[in-house]
Amino acid sequence: MMENVTPNVFTTTKLRGCNPSFVTTSDGVVVIDTPQLPTKAVEMRKLAEAHGPIRYLINTEHHVDHIFGNYYFKGAGTVVNHRGVYDRFMVVYPELDPFAYAYEALPTAAGKGTGLDEPGGVALWPDRDEYYRDPNKGTIVFTGDLTLRVGDHTFNLLHTPGHTPGQLAVHVPEERVVFTGDTIFSSCQTWLMTSDVEGWLTALDRIRTLDVDWIVPGHGPVVTKACLDVQRSVLMEWKTAVAVAIAQGWTREETVARVSFAERYPVDIGQGYMMEYIQTLNAGALYDELTAATATTFPAQATPPR
């Protein structure tokens, strides 16, 4: 299931959901994000604990594919969340019920014969009330940045908001690796959702300053720093395309129907049926953001300067 990035850094890029990872040190293991699929969460915990006790579990963001598996890591190390992650951890919003969305992955993965989940996933599925009594969210909660020292390794938790407000990059200088969460989508469709694109661009600039050889992205294959320019171009193309649509007088419905980058990259593993949803979600969210900004800057009742 896991692949080596360095002798001490393990990740998997072949699951539905994020790229859950762990780092081995001289004093135990640090887990970074957890699998969305229950069977894979249980399996990853066993693999991590084979290298020593889990000292910390760090979540890079609050989206369900990065945090749902925490439930299966209870009693394994201290969970560390940025305040922006902690406050949004498995919160049900009008547009998404994360618990229901996580369950949706079980029949999709097994039903299509992809091998992403075994039938045992349903057997491991908790009752909703039981889950929410203790989903295993952070007991260390912080704002800004935080540095953890575990054995012979340093873990710099860098606040890089943009994709989400509590977004973290976890920099491990001894391994010359940074785990970016969804600040990077590698060779697959980028989910903008309700992100702050300008903040996201700033986050990419911060990651660029790190002295690393490898980037473990939120989704897709492990990459080098060259991927930062690719991700920047994707964000700028999306924002420009929607801004041009608004300038041409397109309605929200026209923009959602006509602005698409579906041909650019495939969707991530197990989400092939969601391509159209991603395109419409991205275009709609950007349309709302850009038109709201225009309305705030130039209110209808204001008199333009002469």
Give the model confidence (pLDDT) of 135-190 as tens digits: 999 999 999 999 999 999 999 999 999 999 999 999 999 999 999 999 999 999 99
Q: Which positions ≥6 away from 73 have C-beta within 8 Å? A: 31, 34, 41, 45, 54, 57, 79, 136
Q: Is the pTM of this model over 0.85?
A: yes
Plot region of 270 (φ>0 → left; ψ -120 to 50 → alpha; else → beta): left
Tell me, what's the pLDDT at 110? Answer: 46
Closest CA to 170 of 146, 136, 142, 138: 146
Task: Return d(Cα 268, Cα 108) in angstroms, integer.
Answer: 13
Q: How far is CA 304 from the centre of its chain?
A: 42
pLDDT at 118: 55
Look at the block and give the residue holding tokens 């889950």. Answer: 131
Q: How confident is the model at residue 108 (pLDDT cuts 50, 70, 90)?
A: low
Contact status, residue 5 vs residue 214, Cβ threshold 8 Å: yes
For CA atoms 213, 86, 75, 127, give the dihedral sign: negative
* Cα–Cα distance for residue pair 72/80, rounded to 1 Å: 16
Question: Mean pLDDT, to the nearest integer, of 262-281?
Answer: 93
Q: Token digits for 199?
A: 């903040």
Q: pLDDT category, 300, cuts 50, 70, 90?
A: very low
CA distance 155 to 298: 44
State the virtual CA torsion across 128, 85, 288, 242 in degrees, nearest 10: -110
Judged against a pLDDT cut of 70, whether residue 257 lies above it is answered with yes
Query: How confident is the model at residue 184, as a pLDDT?
Result: 98
- In this prediction, residue 298 carries a pLDDT of 36
Interval 39-95: pLDDT, tens: 999 999 999 999 999 999 999 999 999 999 999 999 999 999 999 999 999 999 887
Tell me the pLDDT band of 123, cut-offs 50, 70 and 90: confident
pLDDT confidence of residue 119: 65
Query: Which of 198, 276, 186, 282 is CA-nearest to residue 241?
Result: 282
What gap in Å lies between CA 291 and CA 297, rounded to an integer? 10
With a CB cutoff of 8 Å and minimum separation 6, the contacts of 145 are: 156, 157, 158, 159
pLDDT tier for residue 107 given thresholds of 50, 70 and 90: low
Q: What percent of the chain has pLDDT over 70?
A: 91
For the chain, what percent of residues have pLDDT higher than 90?
83
